[in-house]
Amino acid sequence: MNTGLRITAYATAVAAAFGAAYAVGTNVDTVSKPVAHSEKKDHGGGHAEQGAAKKAAAPAGLQVSAHGYALDLKTPRAKAGERADLRFTVRKESSGAPLKTYEKDHGKELHLILASRDLTTFRHLHPTLPQALKEQGGTPIADGTWSVPAKLPKAGDYRVFADFTPRGAGQKVTLGTDLAVTGPYAPGKLPPVTATAKAPDGYEVRLTGGLTPGKPREVTLRVTRDGRPVTDLQPYLGAYGHLVALRAGDLAYLHVHPNGEPGDGATKPGPEVSFTATAPSAGAYRLFLDFRHEGVVRTAAFTVRAGGGPHEAGGGTEAPHGH
């Protein structure tokens, strides 16, 4: 199947899943309302899974082991400011055997997100299975160990998210584990809520829309450079932008879907990129937009608050501080 069809099929499944979320929404509280991540693309042997989702669909990324898979980070420590090779395996919980075959999603078999617990550092990486060990002639011979170089500038506790779809499982899985980065630790404050964020090289991104606990909401990001709208964004991961949203406090990982895709006849290459996201609860979230222009992927980050309540001061009461 080509990429366009795959993404269309996925979007359809997501639309159906949101419908399902509404249907069961009256019987569950806000926190346990299913988020898009835990929904299935098909029903390939997942009845237990479905029951679990109805009972308590916790947000993704909070568990090191879920949906029958476990994330085994073989390099749980790194040094601040030094390049490290992160290595990890996804294991099947039933047998402990490494998972070696994956479905592509947004053009990649596995997406690895790194975020510092204070949400001031973010990386979206695409690890590789060593080439020589890749599937050959349909028979997997790899030991299933992924690796990716990463250089993290600041010490602290980081969360590592592996976002993938096991081949044949028909379901996306996001697992999270801790990575300790050694060095002098000076945790940052959550940056304040702002409507605009800067990215390197003169880019500015303006956010409209927002997050509502338990409901899908549209978030639109408008990209300008030196004050002029950017109308020639380049596709990145099957869309004109890729958005990751993490909840402040526990780094719950929200799955976010682009609205429209390059080549669908309606989606323009900027300046606006639109997404649909569901916040699992009230609170503060940090949104990271990756976009590609003139061959370079850049990131703009925003703090957004969903609902009101006790987390109202999610951005802190202190004056905005620079980075």
Which of these ranges, 12-20, 111-119, 172-180, 303-311, lies near Cu ion under the rule CB under 5 A? Answer: 111-119
Using the CB atoms, write b or e for 299-322: b if 16+ within 10 Å: bbbbbbbbbeeebeebbeeeeeee
Nearer to Cu ion, 110 or 190 (CB): 110
Closest separation in Å from C-beta 71 to Cu ion: 16
Which span (81-89, 108-116, 221-229, 308-316) binds Cu ion, by CB under 5 A? Answer: 108-116
Chosen residue from 40, 91, 100, 111 binding Cu ion by CB under 5 A: 111
Q: Are strands 122-125 and 110-116 parallel, antiparallel or unpaired?
A: antiparallel
Name which of 67 and 111 has its Cβ closer to Cu ion.
Answer: 111
Cβ 76 vs Cβ 180: under 8 Å: yes
Cβ atoms 167, 103 nearer than 8 A: yes
Stretch that binds Cu ion, among 4-12, 82-90, 106-114, 205-213 (CB under 5 A): 106-114
Of residues 294, 287, 185, the one with CA closest to residue 230? 294
Residues 6+ apart with CB under 8 A from 243: 219, 221, 256, 258, 275, 277, 287, 288, 289, 290
Q: At closest approach, how far in Å is the CB of 13 from Cu ion?
A: 19
Rounded to whole angstroms, how far apart are CA atoms 237 and 32? 29
Instruction: Please report how close the Cβ of residue 165 comes to Cu ion at its closest, in angstroms.
Output: 12
Number of chain residues interacting with Cu ion (CB under 5 A): 1
| Ramachandran class of 293: left when φ > 0, alpha when ψ lies in -120 to 50, beta otherwise | beta
Taking the least distance from each CB to Cu ion, the nearer of 177 and 281 is: 177
Token pair listed for 275: 């997404």
Distance (Å, whole) CA 253 – CA 260: 22
Minimum CB distance to Cu ion, residue 107 (Å): 8
For Cu ion, which is the closer residue by CB, 33 or 123? 123
The residue number with the shortest CB distance to Cu ion is 111
Secondary structure of 156-219 in the HEC alphabet? EEEEEEEEEEECCCCECEEEEEEEEEECCCCCCCCCCCCCEEEECCCEEEEEEECEEECEEEEE
* 172 near Cu ion, judged by CB under 5 A: no
Asked whether the beta carbons of 165 and 37 are under 8 A apart, the reply is: no
Closest separation in Å from C-beta 152 to Cu ion: 17
Q: How far is the CB of 108 from Cu ion (least distance, A)?
A: 5
Q: Which is nearer to Cu ion, 236 or 285 (CB)?
A: 236
Least CB distance to Cu ion at residue 74 (A): 20
- Mark the segment that binds Cu ion (CB under 5 A) among 25-33, 107-115, 221-229, 292-300: 107-115
Give me the residues that bind Cu ion (CB under 5 A), please.
111
